A = this chain, B = another copy of it.
Amino acid sequence: MLNYSISEENYLKAIYHLQKTDGTVSTNELAKELNTKPASITDMMKKLKAKKLLNYQPYRGFRLNAYGTKVALTIIRRHRLWEFFLAQKLKFSWDEVHEVAEELEHVSNKKLIDRLDEFLGFPRVDPHGDPIPDVNGKIEVSKKINITELPLHTAGTVASISDQSSEILELLEHRNITIGTKIEVNKKFEFDNSMEIKIGRQAAFTISEQLAKNIFVDHAK
C-alpha cells in the first residue's frame, strides 16, 4: 500500500464516512464535510481518480473503489486505535480524543499501529463505540445492544427506544436523549440496577433500570 498525503488521507476518510449513508458522494457534500470549496474537491477528485482510489465521472459524484476503501479503513484503524489509547492509557475524556487522533492518524508506520494494537489488547471498539478495523482492514458491523449490556466507559449511539409511550419520551426529552445521542455508562449500581450515564460533555446523571432497559444502542460485536 502506497503512502498518501495528509490531505489525501482526509479526503479518503471523509468519503468513506459519507458513502455509508448515501450510495455516492457529491462535490458539495464533501466540500461541506471538509470545510473547503467545491472547486477544491473537483481538483482532488481528479488526483484520487488518477491514483486509482475511486470512481469518478464529472458531474456524477464519486465512490471509493475496493482499493480506496482499503486505504480508508487503515486510516480509520489508526484513528480509532489512537482514540482508544488516549482514553484508556492517557485518561483523556471521551470528547477530547477525536481531535488529537485526527493528528496521530496520519503517522503511517504500519509496525507502529500493529504494535499499538497489540499493546492495547486488540480492542474491538473505540471510546465512541465505533468498531476498529483489524490488521486486514476487516471491520465488524455494529449491532444493537441494550444499554445495560454496554461496557463501562464505552460510548454507544442511541439507535432505538423500545417503549413508545409519551411518558418515556417526555423523560427522554428532558434528558436530551434522542436517536443518535451518544451515551457512555459511568457506573452501575447493584442495589437497584440504576446507572449513571454521561452524554457528551454534560455532567453525568442517573437513570433507573426501567428506563435503561428501553434504550438500545449501536455497538460493534
Would A107 and B103 count as touching, CB distance under 8 A? yes
Would B109 and A103 count as touching, CB distance under 8 A? yes
Would A116 and B90 count as touching, CB distance under 8 A? yes
Is A169 among interface residues, defined by CB-CB distance under 8 A?
A: no
Contacts of A92 in B (CB 8 A): 111, 115
With A89-B119, A91-B115, A115-B92 known to touch, is A107 a contact of B109 (CB < 8 Å)?
Answer: no
A positions within 8 Å CB-CB of B? 86, 89-92, 96, 99-100, 103-104, 107-109, 111-112, 115-116, 119
Given contacts A90-B119, A103-B108, A104-B104, 4 further A-B contacts (CB under 8 A): A91-B115, A92-B111, A92-B115, A100-B109
Contacts of A89 in B (CB 8 A): 119
Majority SS at the chain A contact face: helix
The 10 closest A-B pairs by CB, nearest first: A90-B115, A103-B107, A100-B109, A100-B112, A104-B107, A90-B119, A89-B119, A90-B116, A91-B115, A103-B109
Chain B's nearest CB lies how many Å from the CB of A201?
15
Chain B's nearest CB lies how many Å from the CB of A31?
24
Q: How far is the CA of A107 from the CA of B106 in the complex (A)?
A: 10
Would B112 and A107 count as touching, CB distance under 8 A? no
Contacts of A112 in B (CB 8 A): 86, 90, 100
| 21 A-B pairs (CB sep. < 8 Å) | A86-B112, A89-B119, A90-B112, A90-B115, A90-B116, A90-B119, A91-B115, A92-B111, A92-B115, A96-B111, A99-B109, A100-B107, A100-B109, A100-B111, A100-B112, A103-B107, A103-B108, A103-B109, A104-B104, A104-B107, A107-B107
